[in-house]
Amino acid sequence: MNYRFLSKKGVASFVTGLLKEFRVYGPVKKDGFPMYGEITSPDELHLLHTPTHLSPKHYLFPQRETLLRFKNGENHSIEPTVEAHDQALFGVHSCDIHAIRLMDMVFAYGTPDVNYLKRREKTVIIGIDCLPDKHCFCKSVNTMTVDSGFDLFLHDIGSGFVVEIGTRKGNDLLYKHAKTKKATAGERAKMAEFKNKKAELFITKINAEASTLPLLYSGSYFSPVWEKIGKICYGCGSCNNVCPTCYCFDVRDDVTLNLTEGGRYRVWDGCTLEDFAKVAGGHNFRKTRAERLRHRFNRKFQYQVDKFGGLFCVGCGRCIRTCLVNINIAEVTNELIEETNKDRS
């Protein structure tokens, strides 16, 4: 792995260079809180940001996206729509980089999703180190650090950034738009110091190894935990909307009043919403909120592991921050762990 040192003043010139080639999205402040937004100047970036309520997922998988446009009548036509532009996601945390890697697998699986993959192809990812807040538990699911899935990754060592180069594209952009020098052994050692410091700061933790969680969840289908949290859940779908690895969507058509033309688009959907599993005739495969929550949690810790080989919870803590009734995915998992341990004793 190639490591370069970039001064903090050098970040501004690097971002200025990127703005000439890409739409750049990064952490900005809105109403006093960090969020990802488009920037027009490096001064707008807040790189040492706490976790954002929304991940940068929507720059790759928009909340509403047109898939095709059509015309009826004699000159009827159907035109697929792929809206993608060169973009750079700046200041992405490790957990979100892991999430993007999972989304890459999902949308390439089976019949490739052209819209997502084209947008992904045109995206540069520049990560940055972070410190956890009280809701983060990425250490528990092995996403506290990342060694691939990015073009560049910035490690703050106080005097500047050690830049980890992940791809040839990232390397070329760094050399084109920034003045750097080879990182010294001492500068690289500070990266390890930061990692050790970060590992000690987590308040929220899962009390089992990540590798044991799929088996744990496979045996928890009839746990009373689901009814317990189902009774307080509002079924609002907030957890689905903020999750960086939720990818379900609904497909809808818009047609003009004279029926001559229209468009087909997709919008985010969520398994905690009442109508998600409803089919023709009004039959619902998951009628209760308890059943829907159980499904969501298993999607994160069991079902997708069987399909893609990894947990689909990256420990970002967003669903915990957002839940109106304080359902905590880590605490629920710990309750299941405690139940299992009692059954074995």
Distance CA 221, CA 226 (A): 9
Q: Which tokens hold the place of 43?
A: 């001064």
Mean of pLDDT over the chain? 94
Given the DSSP bridges, would you call strands 123-128 and 87-92 parallel, antiparallel or unpaired? Answer: parallel
- pLDDT bracket for residue 113 (50, 70, 90): very high
Calculate what percentage of the chain has a pLDDT beyond 70. Answer: 99
pLDDT of residue 72: 85
Q: Which tokens hold the place of 252?
A: 């809808």
> Where exactly are the structural domains of the chain?
2-199, 210-344
Task: Flag whether pLDDT at 118 surpasses 80.
Answer: yes
Task: Flag whether pLDDT at 30 surpasses 90.
Answer: no
Q: Which tokens hold the place of 266?
A: 């997709």
Integer-rounded Cα radius of gyration of the chain: 22
Task: Flag whether pLDDT at 331 surpasses 70.
Answer: yes
Residue 32 backbone class (left: φ over 0; alpha: ψ -120 to 50; beta: rest): left
Question: What is the torsional sign of CA 262, 267, 270, 273?
Answer: negative
Task: Flag whether pLDDT at 126 surpasses 90.
Answer: yes
Q: Which tokens hold the place of 127?
A: 């990560």
Task: Flag whether pLDDT at 31 surpasses 90.
Answer: no
Beta-carbon contacts of residue 304 (< 8 Å; ≥ 6 apart) = 102, 310, 311, 312
pLDDT of residue 320: 97
pLDDT of residue 218: 94
pLDDT of residue 345: 64
What is the per-residue pLDDT across 32-89, written as a single tens digit (0 to 9) for each?
888 999 999 999 999 877 889 899 999 999 999 999 999 887 788 889 999 999 999 9
pLDDT of residue 176: 96
pLDDT of residue 196: 93
What is the per-residue pLDDT across 199-245, written as a single tens digit (0 to 9) for each?
999 999 999 999 999 999 999 999 999 999 999 999 999 999 999 99
Mean pLDDT of 156-165: 94
Task: Flag whether pLDDT at 280 surpasses 80.
Answer: yes
- pLDDT bracket for residue 145 (50, 70, 90): very high
pLDDT of residue 51: 85
- Helix (H/G/I), strand (E/B), else coil: 344: helix
